[in-house]
Amino acid sequence: MKPEIEKLLNHTSIRKYKDKAVEEDKKDIIIRSSQMAPTSSHYQSYSIIEIKKQKTRKMLKEISGGQKWVVDAPLVLLYCVDLHRAEKYFEEVDSDALSNLEYYTVAVTDAALAAQKALITAQLLDLGGVFVGGIRNDVDRICQDLKLPDKVAPLFLLCLGYPDQEVQIKPRLPKEEILKQDYYEDDNQDEIVEKYNKEVKNYYMDRTEGKINETWTQRCGKAQSAKKRYNVGECFRRKGLAKK
């Protein structure tokens, strides 16, 4: 198996980094690779903001619930949906249509594909990273502090650096639960999820030396209940990214 494929199959989120800057040439490769991700109709409906100021990083750390790697990571990139560029420059554009869920979905997809390509490129350059969606706890503050215009809004951070930790690979759902054939078949779903719950519980018990004793459904349910984030939809509607 090619080493590049092994890296993809052995992905882990890296949150602790060596005190070493990401070289400018590597940063350039990461950004250029991110830009080469597939994009719907060539819209390229996202923007990337490199966060360098410590003041801004500390604000983002606070918003995200104290995730210290937001401050510590040598390279921090904020990915935003961006339909402002389309509204401003596309010829004969229908500004009203840019506020429907189709174009919001296009922009989110564009940004996610670009960010994933950035992470993969970074991993191939021997860097590691983690996505931080916790910044959506206060999107209004980010929009204001970073001077984001209408139809531009923050989605997540990508923190990158040279790894200073080894992390166990977190088990994914079995392939037969994710991959369907021709239609959505869920006859064996209960059995699959029950087995996967045990696997995830054992993973966390081992990784945390017994401090976390939760199944996948327990842990994800708790996370969903704690992260309703109704303010995201309210903010995005005010920004013109969705109809009111």
With a cut of 50, which residues of the chain have pLDDT below it? none
**How many angstroms separate the CA atoms of 86 and 97, rounded?**
11
Instruction: Give the pair of three-digit tokens for residue 94.
Output: 């229908």
pTM, two decimals, is 0.96
Domains of the chain as residue ranges with CATH: 3-165+230-238 (3.40.109.10), 168-213 (no CATH)
The answer to whether 13 and 129 have CB atoms below 8 angstroms apart is yes
3-state secondary structure of 76: strand
Contact call for residues 139 and 232 (beta carbons, < 8 A): yes
Cα dist from 26 to 6, 8, 16, 75, whole Å: 21, 19, 19, 11
What's the CA dihedral at 194, 200, 203, 204 to 10 degrees? -120
Q: How far apart are CA 49 and CA 72, in angstroms?
A: 17
Per-residue pLDDT at 105: 97
* Residues 112-167: tens digit of each pLDDT: 999 999 999 999 999 999 999 999 999 999 999 999 999 999 999 999 999 999 99
pLDDT of the residue at 243:
84
Res 1: pLDDT: 83
Rounded Cα distance, 123 and 30, in Å: 10
Dig out the tokens for 162 from the structure: 């040279």
